[in-house]
Amino acid sequence: MNVPHESGTVLRWPYAVRYGTERDYEADVLVIGGGIAGVWAAIAAASTGAKVIVLEKAATERSGAGGPGVDHWQWAADNPGSRISPEELAQALVDNQGGYRSGISTYIQCASAWETLEEMERMGGKIRDTGDEFRGAEFRDEKTKLLYAYDYTNRFVLRVWGHNFKPLMREQCRRLGIRVFDRVAVTSILTEGGRPGARVVGAAGVHCHSGAYVAVRAKAVVLATNRPKRIWTFSSELRGITTFRPPSCSGTGYAIAYRAGAEFAMMEKSMRSSFASPYAYPPYGSGNAINTWYPCTIVDANGKEVPWVDAWGRPVSGVAARCRPVEGQKFFIMGGGSSSQPHPGLPQHLGPKPIPDLEARMLAGEFVPPFYADLAGMPEMERKAIWGIMVGNEGKTRIPVMKTYMASGFDPERDMLQSYDFLRGHGMREPVLPQERTFGEQGVCGGMLVDWDLMSNLPGLFGAGDLLFGGQDHSHAAASGRFAGARAALHARRSSAGEVSLEQIEREKKRVYAPLACSAAGPDWKELNAAVARVMQNYCSELKNAELLSLAKTWLDDLQANEVPRVSAGDPHQLMRVLEVHDIVTCAQMIVSACEARKASSAYLHFNRRDYPQMDPAEWHKWLVIRKQGEDVAVSDRPIAFWGDFESNYRPRHAENAAAMASASQAASRAAA
């Protein structure tokens, strides 16, 4: 097969092409998406003795948002140094989002992030300052050698050396006999009788190199494919390192679960986000005081230090004070100037940040641009933590930022790093237009609705990681993946294998291979993606009303009916891209349906309905849930804290998971002896 290249030359497709050839497999538990949540789910399921298969679109060793690394392990309230209980921390995280954060998976994270990290340590991950590089630092516990971030008093976020966690997890899959199939883009969930809403019996997809069809029959399926992207902004030319999340995470999991009849919550939330801008510098690659760079000192062009204030606007002086709760606060969960749109979180949970009126004060002449991150002026331990553990292990910064800058002569003890605040191109706080929105590049967003087993309304379909409604973070993906994998394995143990519908397989094969038969003269996947983004920019942007949303729906339906069938693919890679964009159309339709259903504005959801301008009225303080029903969308709602009590729902399930893993491990030891 020859593939035209933009250089004008014709390249040979390097793999044998096998369109239509079917490869069938069977497992107790199938995991879709070999990212952080998926691999943890696979490891947990296999640790209970289940037969596990992972289907991953890219290469599991490094795939997904967390593949390149992790530097901060969030909300580990179960760690030995924490002074805050999982209940208190989970509730604060939920309250900080006005209730629009999942109490279920957030509690699982707060109650088991540490035990998950301990398992990572047993796999070979470095989680302690074993070389005593930070001996005596304020953020180090001398006994355990653990290092903490943000709130040094209450100690529930750990600094970790996570650049190789993903390869270590891949190695663990080998040890546990998990079958990992890389380069398989899953395109549908298989249900009993092929009926939407029925029990889930497996999934199927296309191999991205050969084009072969891969079908797996399983008693339980864990979906862990992260969130939709490229809904409002798409440019094939301005992307690369400027995007935050990897292109393989394109929302397919949402589309396939929705088509199968799964329920989704909070799909109406979207926001302006620096992370969506195609003009941004590499994330964490320019001077800032956010997340990884917290609590870095910022100075102006004359070296004048930018003051910091607490959540009530009171001055906070000195680096040490930025890392302790202030008067009126028991603990804080976030600090640093963090977003282009103010976060409406509660002051008692927000940490110190550089003055929010810096721009006005600069325009009045008090500060002179450009600004710089003054690493050289930081206390030595803080400097070494930021430009060392944090930038050295944060996703996507180890090589592009740390290694490249240092190879070019950057010396954190001597040099300052320019910030692009108030210029164009900041790597963290890009000034973005209202229509440059993101669904889930950043923060807590909508996703698949699950219960305390992390199972959806479809029997046998579990979810984990960023795809879950109202959850986020690496440690959340790890802890929820581990929990979902064990629950799925126990579900599989209690279930018989369901029948895969041959009719569904044939119907799906016809759908996924259709782009191969389209004329190359039609639009390509990039044009279709750009068209979706333009529709969403125009009609589902910051300001919404019924008329605009109805136009969005009309245009998306038009694209679905008239353009989707014309987009062609010339090789298996293009086929994967075309199918991704088909699913992006579905994700956009899901978002518009949810936006139509919420007839009130909400600051927490960054949701502005001009025809319902009242912000967060009490009667709309609830989750909106959408589900596909034939060609219609069924809308229902759930009370804001519908999950009930944390401990009594979590603890018995956690105990059952642990017992299943312990008994499988004992059985394995007996067999080995």
User: Which residue in 27, 30, 37, 416 binds ligand FAD (CB under 6 A)?
Assistant: 37
User: Which residue in 81, 86, 103, 283 binds ligand FAD (CB under 6 A)?
Assistant: 283
Whose tokens are 């303080």? That residue is 621
Strands 543-544 and 72-73: unpaired
Contact between 627 and ligand FAD by CB under 6 A: the answer reads no
Residue number with CB closer to ligand FAD (222 or 326)? 222
**Cα–Cα nearest to 470, from 115, 108, 199:** 108
Whose tokens are 């293009």? That residue is 574
Structure tokens at 560: 């679905």
**Cα separations in angstroms, 124 against 46, 75, 169, 170:** 19, 22, 9, 12
CB of 101 to ligand FAD, least distance (A): 14
| Residue 292 CA, distance from chain mean position | 17
User: Which residue in 244, 331, 439, 620 binds ligand FAD (CB under 6 A)?
Assistant: 244
Site for ligand FAD in 113-142 (CB under 6 A): none
**Helix, strand, or coil here: 437?**
strand
CB of 8 to ligand FAD, least distance (A): 31
Contact between 338 and ligand FAD by CB under 6 A: the answer reads no
Residue number with CB closer to ligand FAD (49 or 253)? 253
**Cα separations in angstroms, 499 against 27, 282, 384:** 13, 47, 57
Residue number with CB closer to ligand FAD (94 or 224)? 224
What gap in Å lies between CA 207 and CA 576, rounded to an integer? Answer: 8
User: Which residue in 53, 108, 178, 185 binds ligand FAD (CB under 6 A)?
Assistant: 185
User: Which residue in 35, 81, 295, 463 binds ligand FAD (CB under 6 A)?
Assistant: 35
Backbone phi, then psi, for 27, in 5-degree steps? -150, 165
CB of 588 to ligand FAD, least distance (A): 17
Contact between 586 and ligand FAD by CB under 6 A: the answer reads no
User: Which residue in 228, 337, 354, 465 binds ligand FAD (CB under 6 A)?
Assistant: 465
Q: List alpha helices for 598-640, DSSP H.
A: none
Site string for ligand FAD, 63-92 (x = CB under 6 A): xxxx---xxx-x------------------
What gap in Å lies between CA 33 and CA 42, rounded to an integer? Answer: 10
Contact between 173 and ligand FAD by CB under 6 A: the answer reads no
Residue closest to ligand FAD (Cβ): 35
Residue number with CB closer to ligand FAD (462 or 612)? 462
What gap in Å lies between CA 388 and CA 402, rounded to an integer? Answer: 8
Strands 147-148 and 52-55: unpaired
Residue 140 β-bridge partners: 147
CB of 480 to ligand FAD, least distance (A): 8
In single-letter form, the type of residue at position 41 comes to: A
User: Which residue in 170, 183, 245, 487 binds ligand FAD (CB under 6 A)?
Assistant: 245
Residue number with CB closer to ligand FAD (224 or 600)? 224
- Applying CB under 6 A, which part among 52-60, 358-366, 405-413, 604-612 lies near ligand FAD? 52-60
Task: Judge residue 670's burial from the number of C-beta atoms within 10 Å of its C-beta, 0-12 exposed, 13-18 middle, 19 or more buried.
Answer: exposed
Contact between 248 and ligand FAD by CB under 6 A: the answer reads yes
User: Which residue in 27, 33, 190, 624 binds ligand FAD (CB under 6 A)?
Assistant: 33
CA-based radius of gyration for the chain: 24
Whose tokens are 């100075």? That residue is 299
Site for ligand FAD in 190-209 (CB under 6 A): 205
Contact between 186 and ligand FAD by CB under 6 A: the answer reads yes
**Helix, strand, or coil here: 185?**
strand
Residue number with CB closer to ligand FAD (86 or 465)? 465
Site for ligand FAD in 345-384 (CB under 6 A): none
What gap in Å lies between CA 267 and CA 549, rounded to an integer? Answer: 14
What gap in Å lies between CA 88 and CA 269, rounded to an integer? Answer: 25
In single-letter form, the type of residue at position 6 comes to: E
Contact between 43 and ligand FAD by CB under 6 A: the answer reads no
Element (H, E) at 438: strand 437-438
Element (H, E) at 86: helix 86-96
- Applying CB under 6 A, which part among 212-220, 243-251, 331-339, 638-646 lies near ligand FAD? 243-251
CB of 123 to ligand FAD, least distance (A): 17
Residue 468: left if φ>0, alpha if ψ -120 to 50, beta else—which one? beta
Half-sphere exposure of 5 (CA within 13 A, CB side): 8
Residue number with CB closer to ligand FAD (171 or 542)? 171
Neighbours of 279 (CB within 10 A): 15
Structure tokens at 115: 């035990």
What gap in Å lies between CA 254 and CA 416, rounded to an integer? Answer: 43
**Cα separations in angstroms, 285 against 265, 278, 370, 402:** 34, 15, 16, 8
- Applying CB under 6 A, which part among 1-9, 131-139, 245-253, 601-609 lies near ligand FAD? 245-253
Residue number with CB closer to ligand FAD (209 or 598)? 209
Does residue 396 contact residue 68 with C-beta atoms inside 8 Å? Answer: yes
CB of 422 to ligand FAD, least distance (A): 24
Site string for ligand FAD, 466-505 (x = CB under 6 A): xx----xxxx-x----------------------------
Q: Which residues contact 299 (CB under 8 A, 6 or more apart)?
A: 305, 306, 371, 372, 374, 377, 416
Residue number with CB closer to ligand FAD (55 or 552)? 55
Structure tokens at 274: 């620096």
Size of the site for ligand FAD (CB under 6 A): 43
Residue number with CB closer to ligand FAD (34 or 498)? 34
Residue number with CB closer to ligand FAD (31 or 137)? 31
User: Which residue in 249, 492, 528, 594 binds ligand FAD (CB under 6 A)?
Assistant: 249
Contact between 531 and ligand FAD by CB under 6 A: the answer reads no
CB of 59 to ligand FAD, least distance (A): 9
Residue number with CB closer to ligand FAD (396 or 598)? 396
Q: Enumerate binding residues for ligand FAD (CB under 6 A).
A: 32-38, 55-58, 63-66, 70-72, 74, 185-186, 205, 224-226, 244-245, 248-249, 252-253, 283, 394-396, 465-467, 472-475, 477
